[in-house]
Amino acid sequence: MTTDTPWPWSPARTCARWPGRPWPPRAGTNSAQEIVIPTGIALGIAAATPRGLVVPNIKDAHTLGLLDLAVAINDLATTARAGKTAPEAMTGGTTTITNVGVFGVDTGTPILNSGETAILAVGAIHRQQWIVADGSGERIEPRSILQLALSFDHRVIDGQQGSELLAGTAALLSEPGLAVL
């Protein structure tokens, strides 16, 4: 495990490799009426292109450190927007991240791609007044807030695991230093 900070790709890092361990249980595909758990994580990154949305994926994303993951995401998006994504780059995905916030959307209900276990939607960032509690009481502070939405296959991931992914992602976004612990 590398020790690097999560921003700006902490949702990707959390999906690809929860700090200290791969995110449970990676993925499952329905093959001949059985769930097949692959050995790695192929992280899909939804990319808007002039031809529509495509979801190429980063094979073995769980093995990448933050910098390598950020480079891989940038390369995927650049290739997709140029219309040069190879068909094999869009198959075998296990988990997808979609950034609906880039369109000004706060959240939505992301729909799983066939064969994938989870999809995380990241909403727009807004400045809002936020109640902050400390040892002396509560106060109101301006904060940058975004909403996360997760859809997942309950045959593979239960509600506790899904909630832990959301909580872990939120924690990394709130306190980037947690990624180095």
Catalytic residue numbers read 154
CA separation for the pair 7, 130 (Å, rounded): 21
Residue-wise DSSP of 89-132: GGSS--EEEEEGGGGT-------PPTT-SEEEEE---EEEEEEE
Say how far apart CA 86 and CA 57 lie, in whole Å. 11
**Nearest C-alpha neighbor of 50 from the set 27, 80, 89:** 80
